[in-house]
Amino acid sequence: MNETSLPESTPSLQRKLEGRALRSMLLSILVWISAILTSIPLFSVLYMLSTRGGARLNWEAFTELPPAGFEMGGGFGNALVGTLFMVGIASLIAIPLGILAAIFLAELGPNSKLATIARFSAKVLAGVPSILAGVFAYATVVVTTGTYSAIAGGVALAVLMLPIVVLTAEESMKMVPKIMKDAAYGMGCTHTQVIWKIVLPTGMPAILTGVMLAIARASGETAPLLFTALFSNYWLIQDGRLDAMNPTASLAVLIYNFSGMPFDNQIELAWAASLVLVIIVLIINAISRIFGKPKF
């Protein structure tokens, strides 16, 4: 007897195999099409922005203040500074707070009541429309300080970033292999040492990916800034003095304002500012990919 003979090829087996090959090919085509469809919006947006906004992307755009009414020229320098400043404030609040909260959720009391509540709140917060973050900052910062400000805008963006940081950082820390933590305990580490010397550094690339996503998200938000930072036609830093307690410009709000104006100059600037915003987001995403290589 032949030991390694294949089953005899019968017509019915033949049909089955052909059917399988056909289904597999159809599925491949389907996923290809889906992948192409998914990338169409990004590439068409990039194409449109560079054709319409590329021309105004010059030195002046980055260094000048926004033009008023029928003025020609001008730029969005103060809006770029405002966006960077407010995203910076938001990061200063949301990143440390989010990572510390994630340490609690992942390591200190993963099954505690507090953790369950915090995790649930973060998930809800992550899904809440972004304008509500603005409402929150309006009620807490604008109302109490009596002014629209960069600080209020930063707080609103922090509220948006916080759940993203918390949830991704918790996930990242939970992915650190248990055998790695066991090794540290086996060397005589305390729980605190295991957290700071093993869990955090090992999870850091993945944590940074989440942080970058949160920053990218905050950079482009308009709604939370509309009634927290408002807008301004002046520089955030004037004569060497930082003015964080007055209305502040941002790229997102500038785009929102200018795109609706009946002046070609402003509309062109809105396109250019959009291009800058998308480039910022792309750069942040690229950085997060560099960091994001898992370390284990």
Partner 1 sequence: MMQQVATDTDAQPAVLAMDCKLNRIFYGNFLAVRDSHVPIEKNKITGFIGPSGCGKSTVLRSLNRMNDLIEGFRFEGHVQFIGQDIYGKGVDPVVVRRYIGMVFQQPNPFSMSIYDNVAFGLRINRYKGDIGDRVKHALQSAALWDEVKDKLKASGLSLSGGQQQRLCIARAIATQPQVLLMDEPCSALDPIATRRVEELMTELKKDYTIALVTHNMQQAMRVADTTAFFSVDISGGSRTGYLVELGPTSQIFGNPREKLTKDYISGQFS
- Write out the residues near partner 1 by the rule CB under 8 A: 177, 179-180, 182-190, 193, 197-198, 201-202, 295-296
- Give the 3-state DSSP-derived string for the chain, with helices as H, strands as E and coil as C: CCCCCCCCCCHHHHHHHHHHHHHHHHHHHHHHHHHHHHHHHHHHHHHHHHHHHHHHCCHHHHHCCCCCCCCCCCCCHHHHHHHHHHHHHHHHHHHHHHHHHHHHHHHHCCCCHHHHHHHHHHHHHHHCCHHHHHHHHHHHHHHHHCCCCHHHHHHHHHHHHHHHHHHHHHHHHHCCCHHHHHHHHHCCCCHHHHHHHHHHHHHHHHHHHHHHHHHHHHHCCCHHHHCCCCCCCCCCEECCEECCCCCCCCHHHHHHHHHCCCCHHHHHHHHHHHHHHHHHHHHHHHHHHHHCCCCC
Min dist. Cβ of residue 180 to partner 1 (A): 5
The distance of closest approach from Cβ of residue 189 to partner 1 in the complex, given in angstroms and rounded to an integer, is 6
Positive or negative CA dihedral for 111, 116, 118, 124?
positive
Q: Quick one: 198 or 273, whose CB is closer to partner 1?
A: 198
Helices 77-103 and 200-219: crossing angle in degrees, nearest 10, is 140
Q: How far is the CB of 191 from partner 1 (least distance, A)?
A: 9
Q: Which is nearer to partner 1, 206 or 276 (CB)?
A: 206
Q: Which is nearer to partner 1, 120 or 185 (CB)?
A: 185
- Which is closer to partner 1, CB of 184 or CB of 230? 184
- Between 176 and 277, whose beta carbon lies closer to partner 1? 176
Smallest gap, in angstroms, from Cβ of residue 216 to partner 1? 26
Of 28 and 116, the one with the shorter C-beta distance to partner 1 is 116
Q: Which is nearer to partner 1, 88 or 205 (CB)?
A: 205
